[in-house]
Amino acid sequence: MTQQPQIELVSVNKHYGGFHALKDISVTIAKGSFVALVGPSGCGKSTLLRSLAGLESITTGEIRITGETVNETPPRHRDVAMVFQSYALYPHMTVRENMSYSLRLKRVPKTKIDAAVAEAAKILGLEDYLDRKPNALSGGQRQRVAMGRAIIRNPKVFLFDEPLSNLDASLRVHMRKEIRALHERVGATSVYVTHDQIEAMTMADHVVVLKGGSVEQQGTPLSLYDMPATKFVAGFIGSPAMNFVSGEITGDGGSVLLDLPGRPILPLARQATPGRKVEAGLRPEHLSLAPPGVPAIETRASSVESTGSVTYLYCGGDPEIIVLSQEREPLSSGEPVRLTIAPENIHLFDPQTGLSIGQAAG
């Protein structure tokens, strides 16, 4: 790992007038990696991506691409390609003209352009549509043209701003794989903005979770899942979302007493400060029906949904606890259930700061 990073963001800040849109963001992106920027709407994902592209200027901080500071470099000299959420295809040009636009501007010889278009069209399966205008294409095809326009340039960096959000669910899953396969094939560094944590988890090597303009946590997808640094990340990553129950560490520091009917006490994997107020995080997939005799949350199944492969149990009411089981649970609504969880899977967060305390081991 002596290789120079492809992109470095050093304490990047961006203000829109009085509004602080990006707060002290530092991210390092390795060459050839696929990085996802994920977070709720309005957290500054697009702003960060557009700052990388040069479409927005940053207020303070530094952006480096292959070691070179590009703060003042206009977009066209940054050698980055961007796929817009709206695709931004040139409506007055055919697919071929859209894809070859950048090469024609550079006055690349026609034979080379034709070869490049043919190759990109082949990779993306667009050979039959080269002479159509964008308005005669389906959403998925437009998406592909937008990608073709990017890959034909062979840029240092690919930027994607929610490229799949206009597609229907099944096409989205398909394009997810295609983009990832394309990344493997082309090997260029990619930064991918999405608000869909599943996209981030399945596609990226490195995930940056943004919240309110600052980096909440970054790391590999699994490290975010296993060791969320904050309650926000814990609730954001994973589907269905983690259950949160407030509670208190018991006097011996080895268990947590939950604020639920029946005051259940669950053992912890490691010691915590006795008497401390906490927010316990229990992932639906880590909860299971307890065998008799083990300490458990006593509640009722308010509804049971089975998709065939998995069963969702909605238990209790305040707060509702969701359980995701791989088994077909022989339960019906209203039945009492006892839930348990392995001690190492209990996440604890500070109720005030939301920071993780005594992280679960994973």
Partner 1 sequence: MMKRLYSAVVDGKGFDILLVGLPLLFLITFSGLPLLYNVLMSFQEVDIFSLGSLIRPFVGLDNYRALLAQPEFWPIMWNTVIFVVCSIFGQFTLGFALALFFDAGFRGASFLRGLFLVSWVMPGLVVGAIWNWILSGDFGVLNYILRATGLISENIFWRSDTDFSLWAVIIANIWLGTAFNMILLSVGLAGIPKDLYEASELDGANVWQRFLTITIPMMRSTIGAVISLGLIFTLQQFDLFAAITSGGPANSSNVAQYWAWELSFRQYDFAKGATISTIMIITVMIAALLYVRSTRHEVRG
Ligand X SMILES: Nc1ncnc2c1ncn2[C@@H]1O[C@H](COP(=O)(O)OP(=O)(O)OP(=O)(O)O)[C@@H](O)[C@H]1O
d(CA 293, CA 218): 40
Any contact of residue 46 with ligand X (CB under 6 A)? yes
Cis peptide before 264 (omega within 30 of 0): no
Tokens matching residue 84? 């817009």
Which residue lies nearer to ligand X by CB, 43 or 53? Answer: 43
Which residue lies nearer to Mg ion by CB, 46 or 102? Answer: 46
d(CA 209, CA 228): 10
Could you tell me which stretch among 37-45, 228-236, 314-322, 353-361 binds ligand X (CB under 6 A)?
Answer: 37-45
Q: Taking a C-beta distance cutoff of 8 angstroms, is the pair 258, 268 a contact? A: no
Among residues 23, 31, 133, 195, the one that binds ligand X under rule CB under 6 A? 195
d(CA 268, CA 319): 21
Q: How many residues bind ligand X (CB under 6 A)?
A: 12
Sign of CA dihedral 221, 226, 230, 233: positive
The residue number whose beta carbon is nearest to Mg ion equals 46
x/- mask, partner 1, residues 230-249, rule CB under 8 A, reads --------------------
Minimum gap (Å) between residue 22 Cβ and Mg ion: 13
Among residues 12, 27, 47, 146, the one that binds ligand X under rule CB under 6 A? 47
Q: DSSP string covering 230-288, please?
A: BHHHHHHSSSSPPEEEEEEE-TTSSEEEESSTT--EEE-SS---TT-EEEEEE-GGG-E
Among residues 47, 51, 102, 217, the one that binds partner 1 under rule CB under 8 A? 102
Residue 35 contact partner, candidates ligand X, partner 1, Mg ion, none, CB within 5 to 8 A by sort of partner: none
Interface residues toward partner 1, by CB under 8 A: 53, 55, 74-76, 78, 80-82, 84, 86, 88-92, 101-102, 105-106, 133-135, 149, 153
Interface residues toward ligand X, by CB under 6 A: 16, 19, 21, 39, 41-47, 195
